[in-house]
Amino acid sequence: MTYLIVLDPQSVTSRCYASKGPDGTWFGQPCLVCTSMDASHPLYLAVQREIPHMGNTLKQRLHIPHEAVAFVIEAGGDQGRQQGFRSIAA
């Protein structure tokens, strides 16, 4: 399962990721491509990203405040980086 976490453009989290090169953009908004997501915490969305690095895959776990998330797109199966109508830039 793949999750596209689209960040609220007014949030501090979004501004941090926009300045560091997010996973991509969705209609101009910074987003993160994640392999797992847990929304059970009342304050944070727990997500995990897999980042290719020197032939290996690094797993990064993030806790993103709910108010920093605009919405989430869930994609079933193995679609790679193709989400909806657009391909997410690497």
User: What is the token pair recorded at 34?
Assistant: 């994640």
Question: What domain range includes position 46?
Answer: 2-71
pLDDT number for residue 17: 74
pLDDT number for residue 53: 86
Q: Classify residue 47: in a domain, yes or no.
A: yes
Q: Classify residue 79: in a domain, yes or no.
A: no
Q: Classify residue 21: in a domain, yes or no.
A: yes
User: What is the token pair recorded at 7?
Assistant: 């960040």
Q: Classify residue 83: in a domain, yes or no.
A: no
Burial class (CB in 10 A: 0-12, 13-18, 19+), 85: exposed
The 3-state DSSP class for residue 62 equals strand
- Are 73 and 84 a contacting pair, CB within 8 Å? yes
The total of structural domains in the chain comes to: 1
Q: What is the pLDDT of residues 15-69, one digit of tens each?
A: 887 666 556 667 778 888 899 999 999 999 999 998 888 999 999 999 999 999 9
pLDDT number for residue 27: 76
Q: Classify residue 58: in a domain, yes or no.
A: yes
Question: The pTM is what?
Answer: 0.74
Q: Classify residue 24: in a domain, yes or no.
A: yes
| Cα gap 46→56, rounded to integer Å | 23
Radius of gyration for the alpha carbons in the chain, expressed in angstroms and rounded: 12
Residue 75 has pLDDT above 50, yes or no: yes
Q: Classify residue 50: in a domain, yes or no.
A: yes
Q: Classify residue 77: in a domain, yes or no.
A: no
Q: In the chain, what are the helix, strand and coil shares in percent, each to the nearest 5?
A: 15, 55, 30
